[in-house]
Amino acid sequence: MDTLRRSCRVRLGLAAALALLAVLAVQDTAVAAPAYSPNSLSYGLYWFGKNNASQKFVTGETNPYFDPGRPTLIFAHGWQPFISNSLPNFSFDGEDTAAGWIDAGWNVGIFVWNQFSDETTGISVGAWFGDGPPPQGVLDAEAKIWSANGPKGMRWRDWDNFLGGGYSSPPAGTPSAGQLFYETYVAAFPSGYDQPIRIAGHSLGNQMAVRLAYLVDQGIAAGTVPAALRPARVALLDPYWSPDPRTDIPDGMAAGQRTGDVVRQAIASLIPRGTLFEWYWSSIWTTPPQGDANDALKPMVFYAAMDPAFATEDLDKHLAAQHLYFWSHAFAGPAACAGEACLGMDRVLSRLGDAQLAAVMRSDYRWVQTEGQATATPADDAYQSVQQEGAPYSVTQLEATPPDPAVGQEATITATVAAPEGALVSFSTDLGQITPRAIASQGQATARLTSGAAGTAVVAATTRGTGGQVQATVNVTFAAPAAEEVVLTYPGGWSMVSLPVTPADGALATLFPNAISAFRFGNGYEPATALAPCEGYWLNLPAGGGTYSIAGSTVAACSRSLAAGWSMLGTPRHGTPAAAIEQNPAGSVVSIFAFVDGAYRQVNLESGTVEQGAGYWVNLSQAAQLLLSGQGD
């Protein structure tokens, strides 16, 4: 469901349409990157300059359209039936909608997966959607976002193979389109990149954008992706989700699920990490019976309803969200504002600042277009905030558990909320770090607070966005942990270890002077020259091992964000009963293994204990936050 040129929007026979598209392909090669060919598999990230000049990202090669000192916008297009013969671009009615971004100092790119998303079963040129359920073509393209093993696998549209059915098989082992996006994204940014990143997805591309953000979050938790690559915000541009459970997707996150539910659950996990979400609706194609309205997502994000009355066809209305969002960067944004004053903004779209978006990303207001509906330019567009039925919402009580944690220990902040399911609650603190936003479920929303310094934190919560009127507060006092000395004994050879105290000097040579080597597990095994609490390590000692006295402040608790699969885990002072390990989401721990006397031993999750000074392998069924509080003794 993406850029179909207006010259193709006539009802043609299939043969005539294909002939016309072949001509357009020749015309487009003048501005498209030389690397793109409709006759060979050409997916990837294409960086753009003005007037749709572009060059594909290639590892190790300099790209004239990417500057590591600039912020970055990456666009994920959607369904591309019959139009993968040319490179997607930023043109709209003769306008280069990326020019405003480039003039403002942004890198601009498109992740191109159009040959995969060019699935056409059940449609004809110029007639994509009817009045009933979605055609099979869009379902086949959607499946490729989540799995390489869906109805059509990862076949790709080969414009040189129409006698063979129009498709070719991908190289063996080609993963899903969402995974390809993730792998390309991580590779495209040089080491040390620290500029803001924004992702935008149109139609099916919203699922690509959200899956990317989710995989990046997992990579950050696992220590394999730099935290700076977390997208600051994600724009959902007339997003499409199929209306029924995808029982034809055999594996992955979306297997047997509604894709709208999968996206909503992913966004719910990303919002507490700090990523901002904005949703612009523009067409009936994304509502029943063709699509899933996903009403339960609306309270979680900034939601604005466009009214592109200038467009007379449903396809053009669908494309309006994409074109107007990008083009809006060439025009003035909203006036400066903070907190609840931002509800008076009449300009939104891409010029909305991050702080302004955080202020209006709240559940009690949505936005509607009030001006500029009749023109195909965002220059005169205006929007108005509209309070939702049942508002105002409020936080009625705030509690901390424990109320007096030690420095480094985590406190859980629980807000009791008078608001609908899925409402957003914003948290703030004047000491330490706290989850910025959380989603209410069954009348409560929780945040996690930590501090590396002693003192009293004043925690505030509100349903009125970042900077909104404080509705409840609670004090949390962090006490400096007592200094103590622990004695640890390990045998010769390999042991799995961790630190139950935080030493002044964590160098391997200081803690274990006779050690041969130590390794941590991140992106594979990595040498460890220094050790930190709450992480597990392999320690190699000479024959006879050793006994070591280590002084430092007590590690009262360990809080770790871990990716799905296997990770090494350390333990707090006094260890923790396995049954007392807090898991978010619950039930994420599949198994835990210790290494004792040269062999692995499984820890009983109901009656076993993870001991202080030891390291463990933990296997998670999904990315999760684990909290181990020292209480084993």
pLDDT by residue (tens digit) across 441-489?
A: 999 999 999 998 899 999 999 999 999 999 999 999 998 877 889 999 9
Tell me whether strands 107-112 and 156-157 are parallel, antiparallel or unpaired. unpaired
- Predicted local confidence at residue 182, as pLDDT: 98
- CATH superfamily, domain 394-478, is Immunoglobulins (2.60.40.10)
State the DSSP code for 393: P
User: Average pLDDT of 40-59?
Assistant: 96
For the chain, what percent of residues have pLDDT higher than 70? 94
Q: Is 459 helix (H, G, I), strand (E, B) or coil?
A: strand
- Predicted local confidence at residue 28, as pLDDT: 38
Sheet holding 546-554, edge to edge: 483-490, 546-554, 501-502
128: confidence class by pLDDT, cuts 50, 70, 90: confident
- In this predicted model, what pLDDT tens digit does every residue of 151-182 receive, in sequence order? 999 999 999 876 667 999 999 999 999 999 99
Tell me whether strands 107-112 and 72-76 are parallel, antiparallel or unpaired. parallel
- Predicted local confidence at residue 198, as pLDDT: 98
- Predicted local confidence at residue 523, as pLDDT: 81
- Predicted local confidence at residue 604, as pLDDT: 95
- In this predicted model, what pLDDT tens digit does every residue of 227-270 receive, in sequence order? 999 999 999 999 999 999 999 999 999 999 999 999 999 999 99
Domain ranges for the chain, please list them: 6-335, 394-478, 483-629
The token pair at 564 is 């799905």
DSSP class per residue in 589-609: EEEEEEEETTEEEEPPTTT-E
Q: 212 forms bridges with which residues in the sheet?
A: none
Q: Does an H or E element contain 368, and which?
A: strand 365-371
- Predicted local confidence at residue 300, as pLDDT: 96
| pLDDT higher than threshold 70 for residue 382 | yes
- Check: CB of residue 457 under 8 Å from CB of residue 449: yes
User: Average pLDDT of 340-345?
Assistant: 95
Helices 205-222 and 259-270, packing angle to 10 deg: 40
* 12 vs 106, higher pLDDT: 106
pTM over 0.75: yes
d(CA 562, CA 283): 39
- In this predicted model, what pLDDT tens digit does every residue of 567-596 receive, in sequence order? 999 999 999 999 999 988 888 999 999 999
- Predicted local confidence at residue 127, as pLDDT: 67
Task: Output b/e per residue, 442-470; b: 16+ Cβ within 10 A.
Answer: eeebbbbbbbeeeeebebbbbbbbbbbee
- Predicted local confidence at residue 150, as pLDDT: 97
d(CA 24, CA 117): 19
- Predicted local confidence at residue 234, as pLDDT: 98
Task: Name, in order, each residue with C-beta under 8 angstroms of 491's C-beta and a sequence gap of 6 or more.
Answer: 541, 545, 597
Q: What is the mean pLDDT of the chain?
A: 91
- Predicted local confidence at residue 34, as pLDDT: 54
- Predicted local confidence at residue 164, as pLDDT: 60
| pLDDT higher than threshold 90 for residue 602 | yes
| pLDDT higher than threshold 60 for residue 278 | yes
Q: Is 307 helix (H, G, I), strand (E, B) or coil?
A: coil
| pLDDT higher than threshold 60 for residue 321 | yes
Nearest-CA neighbor of 455 among 430, 490, 474? 430
Question: Please, what sign has the CA dihedral across residues 366, 372, 374, 376?
Answer: negative
Q: To which residue do tokens 């030389």 refer?
A: 34
- Predicted local confidence at residue 632, as pLDDT: 55
- In this predicted model, what pLDDT tens digit does every residue of 391-434 receive, in sequence order? 999 999 999 999 999 887 889 999 999 999 999 999 999 999 99
- CATH superfamily, domain 6-335, is Alpha/Beta hydrolase fold, catalytic domain (3.40.50.1820)
d(CA 2, CA 206): 12
18: confidence class by pLDDT, cuts 50, 70, 90: very low
| pLDDT higher than threshold 60 for residue 30 | no
User: Average pLDDT of 55-79?
Assistant: 97
| pLDDT higher than threshold 70 for residue 29 | no
- Predicted local confidence at residue 25, as pLDDT: 36
User: Average pLDDT of 109-124?
Assistant: 94
d(CA 294, CA 242): 10
- In this predicted model, what pLDDT tens digit does every residue of 183-229 receive, in sequence order? 999 999 999 999 999 999 999 999 999 999 999 999 988 888 999 99
